[in-house]
C-alpha cells in the first residue's frame, strides 16, 4: 500500500474532523490503526488528547467538599512572673595529681615479633629498615708510574704493528719488556729477531733423525 495524495488528503480531513485512528483506517482500507497514527505524526498534524484519559476524568467521582474549619477559642495567656537568677555554684575542687614515684619499676619490654621467610630469611618491619647507603664519590683514575726497572722500555701497553714484539727476559721478572725496534716489513719482529725466529730448512740429507719414541716405540695391540 502506498500513500497517494488523495489518501493523504482524506486522512488529513478526517483527522482534523475528529475521527479516531480506527475509523480512518476502516475508511481508507488496507492500513492499520498504528499506520494511520504514524503517518499523521510524520505529516505534523496536531495531536489530540487521549480518549482513555478523558473517559477516566468523566467517570471519576466528584470529590467531597472539605469541611469548614472551626476556629478554636483563644486560650488566655498567663501573666509572666519575673524569675530570679539562679545562684552560681562554685566549681568543685580538683583532686591533686600524684607525682610519679622515683623508684617505680620499669615496664617489662614487649617481645619482638620477627617474620621468617623461606630459607630462614628474616623479613624487616617498617621500623627495621635502614636508610639507603649514599653512593661512594667517583674515584679519580691516576696513571701508575712505571717502575725503575722498566722505565724507558717497551711494555705490553706500548705494543703495536710497527714495533718488534720479541720478548726480552722472563714474564715473571720485574724488568721484562719487548724489543721495541722497527719491524721488518711483513713480519712481527725486527731484522735481527727475524733471523732467530725464522731459520732456513736444511736439505733432507743433512737433517737430524727424529728422537726415538719413549718406551721402545709405538704400542701394538
Neighbours of 189 (CB within 10 A): 20
Q: How far apart are CA 148 and CA 151, in angstroms?
A: 5
Q: In this predicted structure, what is the pLDDT of residue 13?
A: 85
3-state class of 178 per DSSP? strand
Q: How far apart are CA 8 and CA 16, in angstroms?
A: 12
Neighbours of 178 (CB within 10 A): 19
pLDDT tens for 157-207 read: 889 999 999 999 888 888 899 999 999 999 999 999 998 888 777 777 777
Q: How far apart are CA 216 and CA 166, in angstroms?
A: 39
**Cα angle value 35/41/42 (rounded, 5°):** 90
Q: 30, 59 in Cβ contact below 8 A?
A: no
3-state class of 116 per DSSP? strand
| Sequence-ordered list of residues with C-beta below 8 angstroms from that of 182, at least 6 positions apart, any chain | 162, 163, 164, 190
User: Virtual CA dihedral for 9, 10, 15, 17, nearest 10 degrees?
Assistant: 110
Q: How far apart are CA 198 and CA 200, in angstroms?
A: 7
pLDDT tens for 76-113 read: 555 555 555 555 666 666 766 655 555 555 567 676 66
Q: In this predicted structure, what is the pLDDT of residue 184?
A: 92
Which residue in the block uniquely carries the three cell numbers 740429507? 205
Residue 42 CA to its chain's centroid (Å): 55
Q: 197, 189 in Cβ contact below 8 A?
A: yes
Q: How far apart are CA 166 and CA 176, in angstroms?
A: 11
Q: In this predicted structure, what is the pLDDT of residue 75?
A: 59
Q: How far apart are CA 209 and CA 211, in angstroms?
A: 6
pLDDT tens for 40-81 read: 888 877 776 665 555 555 555 555 555 556 556 565 555 555
Q: In this predicted structure, what is the pLDDT of residue 59?
A: 52
Q: How confident is the model at residue 39 (pLDDT cuts 50, 70, 90)?
A: confident
Q: How far apart are CA 168 and CA 152, in angstroms?
A: 14
Burial-class residue 39 by CB neighbours within 10 Å (0-12, 13-18, 19+). buried
Confidence (pTM): 0.30
Amino acid at each position: 500500500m502506498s500513500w497517494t495524495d488523495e489518501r493523504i488528503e482524506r486522512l488529513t480531513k478526517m483527522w482534523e474532523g475528529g475521527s479516531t485512528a480506527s475509523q480512518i483506517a476502516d475508511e481508507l482500507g488496507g492500513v492499520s490503526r498504528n499506520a494511520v497514527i504514524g503517518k499523521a505524526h510524520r505529516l505534523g498534524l496536531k495531536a489530540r488528547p487521549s480518549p482513555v484519559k478523558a473517559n477516566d476524568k468523566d467517570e471519576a467521582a466528584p470529590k467531597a467538599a472539605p469541611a469548614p474549619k472551626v476556629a478554636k477559642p483563644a486560650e488566655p495567656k498567663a501573666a509572666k512572673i519575673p524569675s530570679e537568677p539562679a545562684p552560681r555554684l562554685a566549681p568543685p575542687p580538683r583532686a591533686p595529681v600524684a607525682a610519679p614515684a622515683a623508684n617505680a619499676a620499669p615496664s617489662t619490654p614487649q617481645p619482638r615479633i620477627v617474620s621468617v621467610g623461606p630459607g630462614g630469611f628474616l623479613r624487616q618491619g617498617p621500623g627495621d629498615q635502614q636508610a639507603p647507603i649514599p653512593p661512594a664519590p667517583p674515584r679519580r683514575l691516576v696513571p701508575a708510574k712505571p717502575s725503575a726497572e722498566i722505565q724507558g722500555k717497551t711494555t705490553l701497553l706500548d705494543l703495536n704493528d710497527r714495533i718488534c714484539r720479541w720478548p726480552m727476559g722472563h714474564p715473571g721478572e720485574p724488568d721484562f719488556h719487548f724489543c721495541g725496534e722497527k719491524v721488518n716489513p711483513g713480519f712481527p719482529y725486527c731484522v735481527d729477531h727475524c733471523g732467530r725466529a725464522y731459520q732456513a730448512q736444511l736439505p733432507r740429507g743433512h737433517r737430524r733423525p727424529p728422537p726415538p719414541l719413549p718406551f721402545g716405540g709405538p704400542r701394538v695391540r
